[in-house]
Amino acid sequence: MTDVTTGKHHLELSVFPTSPYYARVHVQRVLEGWRRDDLIETAQLVVSELVSNAIKAHVPHVSPHAVTESPAVMESPAIMEAVAHASPDHIWLDLYPVGDAVVLRVWDACRTPPVLRVPDPDDEGGRGLCLVDLLARSWGYYRPTSGGKIVWCTLAVPLVPPEGRAI
Protein backbone atom coordinates (compact mmCIF):
# COMPACT_ATOMS: atom_id res chain seq x y z
CA MET A 1 0.00 0.00 0.00
CA THR A 2 1.25 3.49 -0.83
CA ASP A 3 0.24 6.82 0.69
CA VAL A 4 0.47 9.20 -2.27
CA THR A 5 0.64 12.29 -0.04
CA THR A 6 3.68 11.14 1.95
CA GLY A 7 5.28 8.60 -0.37
CA LYS A 8 5.17 6.03 2.44
CA HIS A 9 5.06 2.42 1.28
CA HIS A 10 3.60 -0.17 3.63
CA LEU A 11 3.86 -3.95 3.40
CA GLU A 12 2.33 -6.49 5.74
CA LEU A 13 4.23 -9.77 5.92
CA SER A 14 3.36 -13.10 7.48
CA VAL A 15 5.80 -14.52 9.97
CA PHE A 16 7.40 -17.04 7.61
CA PRO A 17 11.03 -17.82 6.76
CA THR A 18 10.38 -16.41 3.26
CA SER A 19 9.34 -12.97 4.53
CA PRO A 20 12.84 -11.43 4.36
CA TYR A 21 12.90 -12.30 0.65
CA TYR A 22 9.58 -10.54 0.01
CA ALA A 23 10.75 -7.54 2.05
CA ARG A 24 13.91 -7.32 -0.09
CA VAL A 25 11.90 -7.49 -3.32
CA HIS A 26 9.50 -4.80 -2.06
CA VAL A 27 12.34 -2.49 -1.02
CA GLN A 28 14.09 -2.96 -4.37
CA ARG A 29 10.94 -2.10 -6.34
CA VAL A 30 10.17 0.96 -4.24
CA LEU A 31 13.73 2.29 -4.44
CA GLU A 32 13.83 1.69 -8.19
CA GLY A 33 10.61 3.71 -8.46
CA TRP A 34 12.22 6.51 -6.49
CA ARG A 35 15.36 6.25 -8.65
CA ARG A 36 17.42 5.46 -5.57
CA ASP A 37 19.43 2.60 -7.07
CA ASP A 38 22.33 3.85 -4.93
CA LEU A 39 20.59 2.52 -1.81
CA ILE A 40 19.15 -0.78 -3.06
CA GLU A 41 21.88 -3.18 -1.93
CA THR A 42 22.26 -1.59 1.50
CA ALA A 43 18.51 -1.33 2.02
CA GLN A 44 17.98 -4.96 1.02
CA LEU A 45 20.60 -6.16 3.49
CA VAL A 46 19.27 -3.98 6.30
CA VAL A 47 15.59 -4.84 5.74
CA SER A 48 16.49 -8.52 5.57
CA GLU A 49 18.17 -8.27 8.98
CA LEU A 50 15.32 -6.27 10.55
CA VAL A 51 12.62 -8.62 9.24
CA SER A 52 14.65 -11.68 10.29
CA ASN A 53 14.97 -10.21 13.79
CA ALA A 54 11.22 -9.54 13.87
CA ILE A 55 10.57 -13.17 12.95
CA LYS A 56 12.90 -14.36 15.71
CA ALA A 57 11.18 -12.02 18.19
CA HIS A 58 7.72 -13.17 17.12
CA VAL A 59 5.39 -14.10 19.95
CA PRO A 60 2.64 -16.44 18.74
CA HIS A 61 -0.86 -15.34 19.67
CA VAL A 62 -1.92 -17.38 22.67
CA SER A 63 -5.33 -17.37 24.26
CA PRO A 64 -5.04 -17.62 28.05
CA HIS A 65 -7.90 -20.12 27.94
CA ALA A 66 -6.02 -22.43 25.56
CA VAL A 67 -2.88 -22.69 27.66
CA THR A 68 -2.38 -25.94 29.51
CA GLU A 69 0.36 -24.58 31.78
CA SER A 70 -0.22 -24.09 35.46
CA PRO A 71 -1.78 -20.76 36.54
CA ALA A 72 1.54 -19.77 38.14
CA VAL A 73 3.24 -19.95 34.73
CA MET A 74 0.46 -17.95 33.07
CA GLU A 75 0.78 -15.24 35.70
CA SER A 76 4.46 -14.67 34.99
CA PRO A 77 5.14 -11.16 33.66
CA ALA A 78 6.76 -12.48 30.48
CA ILE A 79 3.76 -14.63 29.55
CA MET A 80 1.24 -11.92 30.42
CA GLU A 81 3.23 -9.39 28.35
CA ALA A 82 3.29 -11.78 25.39
CA VAL A 83 -0.42 -12.48 25.60
CA ALA A 84 -1.35 -8.82 26.04
CA HIS A 85 0.62 -7.57 23.04
CA ALA A 86 0.60 -10.48 20.62
CA SER A 87 -1.11 -9.91 17.31
CA PRO A 88 -1.86 -12.22 14.44
CA ASP A 89 1.24 -13.63 12.81
CA HIS A 90 2.29 -10.52 10.93
CA ILE A 91 5.15 -8.07 10.62
CA TRP A 92 4.73 -4.62 9.10
CA LEU A 93 7.30 -2.82 6.98
CA ASP A 94 7.20 0.91 6.19
CA LEU A 95 9.52 2.65 3.77
CA TYR A 96 9.48 6.39 3.11
CA PRO A 97 11.76 9.18 1.89
CA VAL A 98 13.00 11.98 4.15
CA GLY A 99 15.12 14.50 2.29
CA ASP A 100 18.13 12.69 0.82
CA ALA A 101 17.54 9.66 3.05
CA VAL A 102 15.14 6.75 3.27
CA VAL A 103 13.59 5.48 6.50
CA LEU A 104 12.82 1.79 7.03
CA ARG A 105 10.58 0.75 9.91
CA VAL A 106 9.72 -2.82 10.91
CA TRP A 107 6.99 -3.55 13.45
CA ASP A 108 6.57 -6.78 15.39
CA ALA A 109 4.37 -7.72 18.33
CA CYS A 110 7.19 -8.33 20.81
CA ARG A 111 7.94 -5.42 23.15
CA THR A 112 11.45 -6.61 24.02
CA PRO A 113 13.96 -4.04 22.77
CA PRO A 114 16.62 -5.02 20.26
CA VAL A 115 20.09 -5.39 21.75
CA LEU A 116 23.24 -4.51 19.85
CA ARG A 117 25.83 -7.01 20.98
CA VAL A 118 29.24 -8.08 19.84
CA PRO A 119 29.00 -11.76 18.89
CA ASP A 120 31.77 -14.22 19.57
CA PRO A 121 33.73 -15.14 16.44
CA ASP A 122 32.33 -18.70 16.62
CA ASP A 123 28.68 -17.61 16.89
CA GLU A 124 26.59 -18.61 13.88
CA GLY A 125 24.32 -15.59 14.22
CA GLY A 126 23.88 -12.39 16.16
CA ARG A 127 25.40 -9.99 13.64
CA GLY A 128 22.21 -8.48 12.22
CA LEU A 129 22.08 -5.34 14.34
CA CYS A 130 25.85 -4.94 13.97
CA LEU A 131 25.28 -4.70 10.20
CA VAL A 132 22.40 -2.26 10.68
CA ASP A 133 24.56 -0.16 13.01
CA LEU A 134 27.39 -0.17 10.48
CA LEU A 135 25.31 0.61 7.38
CA ALA A 136 22.60 2.96 8.65
CA ARG A 137 23.04 6.68 9.26
CA SER A 138 21.04 6.13 12.44
CA TRP A 139 18.77 3.51 13.96
CA GLY A 140 16.70 2.86 17.05
CA TYR A 141 13.41 1.53 18.29
CA TYR A 142 10.29 2.66 20.05
CA ARG A 143 7.18 1.08 21.48
CA PRO A 144 3.96 2.43 19.99
CA THR A 145 1.04 2.74 22.39
CA SER A 146 -0.86 0.19 20.30
CA GLY A 147 1.68 -2.50 21.29
CA GLY A 148 4.72 -4.21 19.92
CA LYS A 149 7.83 -2.34 18.87
CA ILE A 150 9.12 -0.59 15.80
CA VAL A 151 12.78 -0.87 14.87
CA TRP A 152 13.75 1.87 12.42
CA CYS A 153 16.79 3.00 10.54
CA THR A 154 17.72 5.85 8.24
CA LEU A 155 19.73 5.05 5.13
CA ALA A 156 21.59 7.58 3.04
CA VAL A 157 24.39 7.50 0.54
CA PRO A 158 27.61 7.96 2.49
CA LEU A 159 29.74 10.97 1.75
CA VAL A 160 32.70 9.98 -0.37
CA PRO A 161 35.74 12.13 0.34
CA PRO A 162 37.91 13.33 -2.53
CA GLU A 163 40.78 10.96 -3.25
CA GLY A 164 43.49 11.12 -0.62
CA ARG A 165 41.38 13.07 1.90
CA ALA A 166 39.59 11.90 4.99
CA ILE A 167 36.27 13.23 6.16
Q: Give the pLDDT score at 5.
A: 61
165 vs 167: CA distance, rounded Å: 7
Let me know if 106 is exposed, middle or buried by CB neighbors in 10 A (0-12, 13-18, 19+).
Answer: buried
Overall pTM > 0.85: no
Question: Above pLDDT 70, what percent of the chain?
Answer: 70
Give all domains of the chain, ordered by start, each with its CATH number. 2-155 (3.30.565.10)
Q: Give the pLDDT score at 61.
A: 54
Among the listed residues 149, 57, 150, the one whose alpha carbon sits nearest the alpha carbon of residue 103: 150
163 vs 166: CA distance, rounded Å: 8
Q: Give the pLDDT score at 20.
A: 96
Amino acid in the structure at residue 19 = S
More confident residue, 77 or 115: 115
Q: If pLDDT is split at 50, 70 and 90, which confidence band does 160 have?
A: low
39 vs 143: CA distance, rounded Å: 27
**Does residue 75 carry a pLDDT above 50?**
no
Q: Is residue 122 a contact partner of residue 130, using CB atoms and an 8 Å limit?
A: no
Element (H, E) at 134: helix 128-135
Q: Is residue 87 a contact partner of residue 109, using CB atoms and an 8 Å limit?
A: yes
Backbone angles phi, psi at 13, to 5 degrees: -120, 145
pLDDT tens digits, one per residue of 80-110: 444 444 455 899 999 999 999 999 999 999 9
Q: Give the pLDDT score at 158.
A: 66
